[in-house]
Amino acid sequence: MTEFEKWWETHPADLVLDPKGMAERMWNAAQRAVLRTLSDPPYIPKVGEKVRILSLCHPNSLGKVKKVVHVELGTLENVHWMQTEFIDEDGEPYYSSGLLGEVEPVKEEKE
């Protein structure tokens, strides 16, 4: 039994039926991203810096430019947690956070 299957059995109320196996693919991608992050620590951005998200840890943000509003060291060595801000076309700020994966610094102002 895989680690995902063990977790899935203990959390049935938390999940929606997933006939195509998307949850397991996401679980496996997240674990690969964590292992990659541990073995090759990513660029650590500073608060206020703009970065382009390159990691599978943030699938909805992949390729987008975000402003970093908070970075902190997580519970594992070399693993950081990052919070970002994105301003939509109406000028409304949206915040998201997650495991800091692969990002690159961005110099231009466009988002």
Task: Cite the DSSP H helix spans in the chain.
Answer: 3-10, 22-39
Report the alpha-carbon distance of residue 8 to residue 97 in Å, rounded. 24
Q: What is the residue whose two structure tokens read 């899935």?
A: 8
Report the alpha-carbon distance of residue 50 to residue 58 in Å, rounded. 15
- Residues in contact with 13: Cβ distance below 8 Å, sequence separation at least 6, in sequence order: none
Q: What is the pLDDT of residue 4?
A: 66
- Smallest Cα–Cα separation from 59: which of 32, 86, 98, 110? 98
Q: What is the pLDDT of residue 68?
A: 93
Q: In DSSP terms, which residues pair with 93 in a beta bridge? A: 87
Q: What is the pLDDT of residue 111?
A: 47
Point out the residues of the chain with pLDDT beneath 50.
111
Q: What is the pLDDT of residue 87?
A: 85
